[in-house]
Structure 1
Amino acid sequence: MSALPVLYSFRRCPYAMRARMALWIAGITVELREVKLANKPPQLAEASPKATVPVLVLEDGTVIDESIAIMRWALAQNDPEGWLDGDNAALINGNDGAFKHHLDRYKYPTRYTDDPDQGKVDHRTEGLAILQDLDMGLARHAQLCGAKRTLTDIALFPFIRQFANTNRDWFDEQPIPHIQAWLEDHLSSDLFKAVMPKFAPWEAGDDAIRFGP
């Protein structure tokens, strides 16, 4: 077993991003194993039959293979900013359910419909409607659950980032000023920058990469 928890991750995966951010803010150092999705290492499937990132393997062999569960586990060890005080299950479930559904079909329309142009517009519209609801909440306070960032902000941020980046010019023109400012705040944060370095895909026998604050 590793002397550190092992995290199987993929740099651009929004699920992996939010797991890395929670581990970082909790002060937990891991052995990072960057996964190439087109050539996943067999050790990933051995740890979790789903073989999807992120997967966290603890020192005692316990496997946590859901990103939100990784976040909550990390913060249960150490929560210096009080992120668990802003664990809004309704917003998180809405993001991981309806918003992710529309995001996928907006970003990758040819995978889901015979009319990708119309499908892309329809799902972009539905995704925007969800963001408009969030924008109304952010008109009252700087973050989704109050004045300070919490688990909910970090759980949603990577997906809203992905939605925005699908067509950033269009996104920037939409009447959601509070979401746009909130997104820029998280994009420019030291925390986000800290968890986004590039690593070569991991292979058995590679030197361990220590990843943490």
Structure 2
Amino acid sequence: MPRDLPILYSFRRCPYAMRARLALHASATAVEHREILLRDKPQAMLTASPKGTVPVLVLPDGRVLEESLAIMLWALRQHDPDNWLADETLALDLIDRCDTRFKPHLDRYKYATRYEDADPREHRAEAARFVRTLDDRLRQGTALLGAADGLADIAIFPFIRQFAHTDRDWFAAQDWPAAHRWLDRHLQSDRFAAIMQKHPVWTPPLDRAPDK
């Protein structure tokens, strides 16, 4: 594997890693993909990023991008053929609402046993408020900020997917026709299929030290 490629530490089912991979794919950025197990994180990744979460992108110049949105922006600023960075300011505001307001409720709905006194139904109801706002937007256009997909759609979609898959029957029964169409379109896209291909778990070569 050429050493001038960025190294991506990823976990296939993590929504943060999904959105990073989507942007890397859209920007045609080649990377050395290192699939990890969250329960057995490689020392090379922890050396690069001690916080121990994915995704992590180690650039050839030694810089380390430790947040999914930073990886998305870096990739798309290199090459943005689909113009995903149009309306970037509005997109970042909507993404922030997803990450700081919706995601905590999603976690307490999907993983209620991990949180003391979390009522999953209450958190599902709070998370649903955000999805309703997306449905309202999508009734006005096919994408969250107009007619064409952009940064907001790609950054938010993996989390709505996770919400929907927590209880598929309940989600399907909700009166969110535009959000359902939007989600289905992304789930069925060639790009999503490409970034969800399975990779073997990466193990460090025995003949060299872990990457710094």
- Same structural fold, with TM-score higher than 0.5 when normalized by the shorter chain: yes
Cα distance in structure 1, aligned partners of 2:192 and 2:53: 22
1:93 to 88, 92, 96: 96
**Deviation at residue 86 of structure 1 after TM alignment:** 3.6
SS in 2 for 1:7: strand
Contact 1:19-1:67 at 8 Å conserved across structures: yes
Partner of 2:107: 104
Letter in 1 for 2:56: V
**Deviation at residue 3 of structure 1 after TM alignment:** 2.4
Cα distance in structure 2, aligned partners of 1:139 and 1:90: 20
Cα distance in structure 1, aligned partners of 2:172 and 2:116: 26
**Deviation at residue 143 of structure 1 after TM alignment:** 0.3
**Deviation at residue 113 of structure 1 after TM alignment:** 2.7
Asked if 1:143 corresponds to 2:114, the answer is no
Partner of 2:53: 52
CA gap of 1:86–1:192, structure 2 versus 1, over 3 A, is farther
Letter in 1 for 2:198: K
Letter in 2 for 1:59: P
Contiguous gaps of at least 5 residues in structure 1:
207-213
Letter in 1 for 2:144: L
Letter in 1 for 2:108: R
Contact 1:8-1:33 at 8 Å conserved across structures: yes
Asked if 1:83 corresponds to 2:79, the answer is no
Partner of 1:209: none
**Cα deviations across residues 161-207 of structure 1 (Å, max 9, x unaligned)?**
0000000010000011111110000000011000001112111018x
Q: State the aligned residue count.
A: 203
Cα distance in structure 2, aligned partners of 1:81 and 1:180: 23
Asked if 1:198 corresponds to 2:198, the answer is yes
Partner of 2:210: none
SS in 1 for 2:39: helix
CA RMSD of aligned residues (A): 1.2
Cα distance in structure 2, aligned partners of 1:90 and 1:135: 17
SS in 1 for 2:74: helix
Which is further off, 81-90 or 4-13?
A: 81-90
Cα distance in structure 1, aligned partners of 2:10 and 2:17: 6
Cα distance in structure 1, aligned partners of 2:113 and 2:135: 29
Seq. identity, %? 53
Contact 1:86-1:152 at 8 Å conserved across structures: no
**Deviation at residue 51 of structure 1 after TM alignment:** 1.4
Partner of 2:209: none
**Deviation at residue 90 of structure 1 after TM alignment:** 1.5
SS in 2 for 1:39: coil
Contact 1:10-1:16 at 8 Å conserved across structures: yes
Cα distance in structure 2, aligned partners of 1:191 and 1:146: 20
Cα distance in structure 2, aligned partners of 1:195 and 1:66: 18
